[in-house]
Structure 1
């Protein structure tokens, strides 16, 4: 009874972290079963843990070949973990609560708010319903397009095409990056039906549900968009266009990537490569053969990630955009940070700065540790660490060769990257602390 009462006072972020931990645990047990592999033998706890974490945290990194290692049962488990991770443990829990009881309590609302990042507590039940229905509808449309292409364009049987369509629809909309081919999507590098459909699913899933809902209602009236929507849309477009141009310029003559393609194929492949670091992790080019300059550009895109309250990871385009406004206001000597005709609260500024600095520190420390644990070069290790933290799933090919300690470090990074550094930190705190006094102010020299 005492434990039950204590549970009622848990911070919602604690429940989110525990929920994802439970999903990873269940997924690990299922993937460790002999039925989950094509060989009929257990994959082992480390492989099962890594894959379950990668799927539940919608990352896409893999230490074994998904196509040849996992059975249909194992693939279904992976798809289920991706779906659960994408929608969020608390979102699904709220849906189940509504179905069973027909009503929702304040505590459950706060849990759902912590997961969906909604800005109001007025009607979480309606928000969650929209999130689930919108997600399933998008996945169904993407699945049908992909299934039709696999069936009519690649001579797959109808049943197999449908299975491939639904698996990759779930994987793309939830920004997971798992594919059922050993070369991921490299065989479809110049197929616009496959690449553009998956890219569209990744972008929509990574925008964030509040932004998507507002765009649906107000797409004809940009002047009515909220700060969240404006910043998300503008930064997303800038990153997609900028990323495409940078990768085009860098890889245009690379004989192992864009070099052999015709001009339309190069533009398609570069655009696809610029979309995936939003934290999807699919690749239509051989990442290991890219130039180090392209790896660095991809590192930056992966670290920023996608939109808030969506299926993407990273520090989020909103955080990146708000920091740009903070820097601009400071350079102009303005006492307040304004975005359009709105003033940015100081709490949001502190949160953006804290999240970014914590993320940079985490990436730096993890890169140092992985460098010490493996013989790989700095550029490859940094790429792997940022990919894991940003829940992206792209790799230069060293994931399987990082050793047991390296695998466990990547598992931790993927988990933290999905739950969020600040969410994880607040989950460890038993309660919020407030200071009832203020100290005298003293200016310090900066720079």
Structure 2
């Protein structure tokens, strides 16, 4: 069996990724279908069980049932375990694939730009060993990932627990809900154990701030957390990936906050009735959560159409590479902007922070964006045809599914079974698609001993 698995991994890492995620989803679908998993001890319909399994394993946060009331304690434990397995599993899978491909290509694998796994190709040139992440020792790497996840989740839970006690929640329930919320924040899932969602804590800025901290750390990605743990006092030692991730993430976070303030300050259903300080905080919270967090203190359907579009754009971008967040990733966006900037200045090479970025990273970034845009377009057309719902709501929920964000206008919960399957497939493609695409492109590198005649088509 070991030889068979090793053969699959070595011959097709992308197939291995699909098999792993499919097996996990099927297992959790069966478990969620069991009567013991539901609160009323009935069998959950297949489409609801499958959708919940995909949403949990892909750490999305969308739901077709009331997550706070539908599941029994056993079902809630499945959700808690599933999001941690799904969130850490993406990193684990990326690490294993990186190691396998690095052996095949003969150089170290690195978790860098464009997707959850992006081993550099052999023609990309030498890499500074100080900028690389060793993936040869998988056991040590996975232990570091597990420890960082545990520390962050326990830290966030420690911030939430006393606040719940102050708000009158019982000790046992407060302890469970603290760890539940902490796991949902770090994995960027966004499920809530309360029937009211965050309604009970919508004005509790300590509680909301702790959630933002967990979502922010989870969306940065393991390479960034690893760099902080190793050399947080020496930013000059940080890799280009770490610097791009931090700069782009912070820029998008505050840009989103400013845009929400401008677009929603006159909306009485959202921030229109708030004072200046509350509007700033709630706009910042919304900006962080649209990046993949999935929590919300307002009804998403109450947002202006312009705000829905901005939210869709932020969700599509997502978080950092090798993180629990989804989307095309912030480094992908950074690479595209650097390429456009280099082209505008007439430079042949992309440069950032004193480093040159090889052209194959740009090709991979373009591939990831096209993959995401195609997935969103096809799914939106299918959902529009099935539901005849407004385009802005359909687009929002489809992008939320692709980017594994979890925010919803309410459309997903009301989908018929065929629409549920389409959304489930969208979540799966969004979570696994960029990983397998990056691995496939890296593994398919081949040398060509000749060049064809050059000809330039008209572009633009």
What TM-score results when the alignment is normalised by the length of structure 1?
Answer: 0.91
1:19 and 1:89 in contact (8 A); partners too? no
Q: Which runs of 5+ in 2 are unaligned?
A: 119-131
Query: Structure 2 residue aligned with 1:130, among 139, 144, 147?
Result: 144
1:103 is aligned to none
The Cα of 1:126 is off from its aligned counterpart by: 2.2
Q: Distance in 1 between matches of 2:53 and 2:270?
A: 31
2:48 is aligned to 47
2:21 is aligned to 20
1:34 and 1:41 in contact (8 A); partners too? yes
Question: Within the alignment, does 1:197 sit opposite 2:204 as a pair?
Answer: no
Q: Distance in 2 between matches of 1:210 and 1:4?
A: 27
Query: Structure 2 residue aligned with 1:340, among 340, 353, 365?
Result: 353
Q: Distance in 1 between matches of 2:361 and 2:134?
A: 16
1:359-374 correspondence to structure 2 within 5 Å: 359-374=372-387
Question: Within the alignment, does 1:147 sit opposite 2:161 as a pair?
Answer: yes
Q: Distance in 2 between matches of 1:184 and 1:134?
A: 27
Aligned length: 437
Q: Distance in 1 between matches of 2:35 and 2:110?
A: 38
Q: Distance in 2 between matches of 1:4 and 1:135?
A: 27
1:44-83 correspondence to structure 2 within 5 Å: 44-83=45-84
Q: Secondary structure at the match of 2:267?
A: coil
2:14 and 2:440 in contact (8 A); partners too? yes
Q: Distance in 2 between matches of 1:159 and 1:53?
A: 29
What TM-score results when the alignment is normalised by the length of structure 2?
Answer: 0.88
Q: Distance in 1 between matches of 2:235 and 2:269?
A: 42
Q: Which runs of 5+ in 1 are unaligned?
A: 96-105
The Cα of 1:423 is off from its aligned counterpart by: 1.1
Q: 1:381 to 1:61 in 2, by over 3 A?
A: same
The Cα of 1:218 is off from its aligned counterpart by: 3.2
Q: Which region of structure 1 is more displaced relative to structure 2, 216-225 or 31-40?
A: 216-225
Q: 1:397 to 1:288 in 2, by over 3 A?
A: same
Q: Distance in 1 between matches of 2:287 and 2:94?
A: 34
1:60-209 correspondence to structure 2 within 5 Å: 60-88=61-89, 91=92, 107=100, 119-151=133-165, 153-209=166-222
2:257 is aligned to 244
Q: With a CA cutoff of 8 Å and minimum separation of 6, indicate the structure with the bigger relative contact order.
A: 2
Q: Which region of structure 1 is more displaced relative to structure 2, 253-262 or 119-128?
A: 119-128
Q: Which region of structure 1 is more displaced relative to structure 2, 428-437 or 293-302?
A: 428-437
The Cα of 1:359 is off from its aligned counterpart by: 1.1
2:299 is aligned to 286
Q: Distance in 1 between matches of 2:242 and 2:91?
A: 23
Q: Distance in 2 between matches of 1:92 and 1:233?
A: 23
